[in-house]
Amino acid sequence: MPGKKKAAKSKTARKKPVSRHREHDLQKGVEQFAEEMEKIGERFGKRCEKKGKGMESWFHSTFSIVGPLLSSIFGVIIIAVFLWVLNLVNIPLGVGLLQNIHSFLAVHIGWFFLLFMFFSYASYVSKLFPRVYRPLSPIVSAAGITVALWILASAIRIVNLSVNVELFTNMASFIEGSLGVLFYVFLLMGYLVLIAREVTGKPRPHAKEKAAEPKRVPPKTTRGLHRLYRSGNDRILGGVCGGIAEYLGVDPVIVRVLWVLFSLTWGMGILAYIIMWIIMPRNPGHKWD
């Protein structure tokens, strides 16, 4: 009996490090996924900023304080043209969903104009008076998130007029009833982040300044097979398809085509890609800058 107890204890002691190691790998995968998504967002933002910087500076320098008003009027004109086209298309079709979208936009076009004005002038102040805009930025961010949630609830209601699902009605009612509370929650979070940045005052380290991960040879399993890694040499987003292609020894284009077909057929390709992006570790022998 004592020998069996010792053997059981030794088995449990062996299992704990394995579970902790798996939790560590999963946590590391989530952190790397967030880091890579942030880098993708930064690259996309820099490209958009380079293309729009010249036009934006010309627009602000030409129209000055009247510029946000003109851009808001232009946005309302675009909505009006869209409504005209939508009504023209829907006359022979008679689709109820299109009619509901047309009614929603037509009823709230005044609110959209005010929202365009608010966010356009907020952007104008942020460019012209960044110090004045800094303490006001949480208000603009909270307002933007609240408006996005309102549009989401309205879209659910519009779709539900055609399908009539009780769950969608409850979701839309919950979001609309919580808009005020959510606005103050996001406002509080924004000011907490702003205060934390002011207190610390330390800029975030650049990616090049971070310590490089030590290179190591990919370990082999007990059957002599290499582990499945994400590829850093052949990647478009996270390197999942490239890693699978390297593991199978096939052209990565084939894997990407199969992934696109899987996404279009069953609609789960994007979710599966994100899960594999988090679970599959980086290939330590590749560059990930």
More confident site: 219 or 110: 110
More confident site: 97 or 56: 97
Closest to 121 measured CA to CA, from 131, 112, 109, 133: 133
| Per-residue pLDDT reduced to its tens digit, 69-102 | 888 888 899 989 998 988 888 888 887 888 888 8
DSSP letter string over 89-154? HHHHH--HHHHHHHHHHHHTHHHHHHHHHHHHHHHHHHHH-HHHHGGGHHHHHHHHHHHHHHHHHH
- Range in 35-49, 99-113, 126-140, 166-180 with the lowest mean pLDDT: 35-49
| Per-residue pLDDT reduced to its tens digit, 262-273 | 766 655 666 677
More confident site: 217 or 179: 179
Confidence at 50, pLDDT banded by 50, 70, 90: low
> What's the pLDDT at 221?
46
> What's the pLDDT at 160?
83
Is residue 236 over pLDDT 70?
Answer: yes
Confidence at 20, pLDDT banded by 50, 70, 90: low
For the chain, the domains span 64-201, 228-289
42: tokens are 């930064």
> What's the pLDDT at 32?
73
